[in-house]
Amino acid sequence: MRIKTKLTFGVGLLFLLILALAVVSGWYIHQLKKDTNNILVANYNTLQYSRNMLIALEGISNDTTAINTFNENLIKQQQNVTEIGEKEATIMVMKHFSMLRENPEDTVLISSIRTDITELMRLNMEAIERKSNIADATAQKAILIISVTGTLCFLIAFTLLVNLPSGIANPIKELTE
C-alpha cells in the first residue's frame, strides 16, 4: 500500500469516527429535547389552566371577571386534553361550572369543581412523572451509546496512532537505506 493511501485511509477513518460520534450524540440530544418538550407543552399548560381556574373559583360567587377568567381557562383546557381520563375530568368541570353559573352561591358545587380540577392536576402530574421517567431512560441510553461509540472511536484512533506512523516511516527508512 502506498504511503499517500495509508495517510488518506488513516485521516479519513478518523474523520468518519468523529462524524459518527457527532451524529449519534446529536440524535440522542434531539430525542431528549423531544421527550422534555412533550412534558412541557401539554401537561404544564393544563396545570397552569387548572391553577388559574382555582384562583378564579375563589371569587366566582360575586365577580363576573372571575367567571370570565374561569371560563377562558376552561375553554383552553378543553383544547388541551392529552392524557387518558383528562377528557372525562374536563367534562365534569364543565358540567359543574354550568350548574354553578345558575346557582353561584352553592358551596357544594364549588367544592365539586375544586375536586374535579384537583383530578385534572393529578392526572397531569402523573403524566409528567411518567414522561420524565421516559426522558431519564432516553438519557441513560444516550449516555451508554455515546460512551460505547466514544470508546470504539478512541480504540480505533489509538490503533491508528500506534500503527500508522510505523507504516509510513518503515518504507521511508527502507528507501533511505
Q: pLDDT by residue (tens digit) across 143-157?
A: 898 888 888 888 888
Task: Please state, in angstroms and rounded to a whole number, the distance separating the CA atoms of residues 135 and 157.
Answer: 32
Instruction: Determine the pLDDT at residue 1.
Output: 67
Which positions ≥6 away from 80 have C-beta within 8 Å? Answer: 42, 45, 46, 49
Q: Comparing C-alpha atoms, which of 80, 68, 71, 78 is closest to residue 44?
A: 80
Q: pLDDT by residue (tens digit) across 12-62?
A: 888 888 888 888 888 888 888 887 777 777 788 899 999 999 999 988 777
Residue given cell 367534562 in the structure block: 91
Instruction: Determine the pLDDT at residue 77.
Output: 94
Instruction: Determine the pLDDT at residue 159.
Output: 84
Residue type, 25: S
Q: pLDDT by residue (tens digit) across 57-90?
A: 988 777 788 889 999 999 999 999 989 999 999 9
